[in-house]
């Protein structure tokens, strides 16, 4: 469906409790067996162990039969100045400081002129806003294409269910496909860190050289996908196999890496300082797209599905 208008949702800052703990609560449909649920909960446990925001995230898990996976979630429009203030007041890491320093204060984004920035419901909560009590989103997985048991390795031709779920949870939390509104005439929170060169922000769907940077474009942390098929907020699928790559790789075990945690960190999630994620690994052949659909608070909504 065509996106026609971006709606601002009034948000009120709320006080955070003194204790800090992320809780992700899954709700499964009947398609998920015990092994599938164990894989999903393994992915959830990792996020709960490395992110410290006092937030409860509710995610529905469903099955799908076309493509590999997708997520859907609400997007809120927040005033740029309000978002900047929240990010600036919640700096808890050196990455946060660098990221905020790369942004300008004021009433609109300096590169695009946007006065409203899109964030997911979960990220809205992480940033300390009163976002209302609704489900944070739905993750649908083609369980027939996945391998839920890492104990004996990931079968060739199958996809690591834990890695697939991590990709989609990232997007529910507000990074990856959930962090970009490229192509819809609006700006997502991760679009604030999209560069083509040092000091050169980009908000275009043409070309294929945009990258994620939190220091004003000086350091290229990961190349963004910009092929017009996958999510613009995902990583370009190149020689490195990452959870947030736009295209999945069969037979490979993937886990959250440094760059995914950095992205979550700078959009409002707080990391445990001792977090040491696995290193990125080389990837073999690329087969299937790990896409996400965004259910947005627009006059229209979108939901992307990918065909094998």
Per-residue pLDDT of the chain (308 residues; tens, 9 = 90+): 233 233 334 443 333 333 458 999 999 999 999 999 999 999 999 999 999 999 999 999 999 998 999 999 989 999 999 999 999 999 999 999 999 999 999 999 988 889 999 999 999 999 999 888 788 999 999 999 999 999 999 999 999 999 999 999 999 999 999 999 988 889 999 999 999 999 999 887 777 789 999 999 999 999 999 877 778 999 988 768 899 999 888 999 988 999 999 999 999 999 987 455 555 544 333 333 333 433 333 322 333 332 22
CB 190 within 8 A of CB 267: yes
Instruction: Tell me the C-alpha to C-alpha distance, in Å, between residue 238 and each of 229, 242, 297.
Output: 15, 9, 33
- Nearest partner of 57 among 21, 3, 84, judged by Cα: 21
How far is residue 218 CA from its own chain's centroid? 22
- pTM, rounded to two decimals: 0.85
| Cβ atoms < 10 Å from Cβ of 283 | 18
The bridge status of strand 137-141 relative to strand 56-63 is parallel
């Amino acid at each position: 469906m065509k996106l026609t208008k971006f709606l601002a949702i009034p948000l009120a800052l709320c006080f955070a409790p003194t204790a800090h703990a992320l809780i992700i609560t899954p709700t499964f449909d009947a398609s998920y067996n015990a092994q599938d649920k164990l894989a999903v909960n393994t992915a959830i446990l990792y996020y709960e162990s490395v992110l410290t925001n006092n937030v409860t995230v509710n995610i529905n898990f469903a099955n799908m039969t076309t493509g590999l996976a997708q997520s859907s979630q609400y997007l809120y429009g927040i005033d740029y100045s309000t978002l900047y203030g929240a990010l600036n007041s919640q700096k808890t890491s050196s990455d946060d400081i660098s990221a905020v320093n790369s942004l300008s204060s004021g009433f609109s984004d300096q590169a695009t002129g946007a006065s409203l920035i899109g964030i997911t419901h979960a990220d809205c909560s992480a940033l300390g806003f009163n976002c209302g009590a609704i489900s944070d989103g739905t993750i649908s997985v083609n369980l027939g294409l996945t391998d839920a048991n890492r104990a004996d390795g990931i079968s060739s031709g199958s996809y690591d269910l834990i890695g697939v779920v991590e990709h989609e949870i990232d997007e529910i939390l507000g990074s990856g496909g959930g962090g970009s509104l490229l192509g819809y005439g609006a700006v997502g929170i991760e679009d604030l860190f999209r560069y083509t060169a040092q000091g050169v922000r980009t908000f275009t769907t043409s070309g294929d050289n945009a990258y994620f940077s939190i220091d004003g474009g000086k350091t290229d942390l990961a190349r963004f996908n910009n092929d017009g098929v996958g999510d613009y907020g995902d990583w370009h699928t190149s020689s490195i196999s990452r959870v947030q790559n736009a295209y999945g790789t069969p037979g490979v075990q993937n886990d959250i890496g440094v760059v995914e945690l950095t992205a979550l960190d700078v959009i409002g999630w707080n990391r445990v300082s001792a977090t040491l994620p696995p290193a990125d690994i080389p990837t073999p052949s690329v087969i299937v797209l790990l896409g996400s659909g965004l259910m947005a608070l627009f006059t229209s909504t979108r939901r992307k599905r990918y065909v094998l």
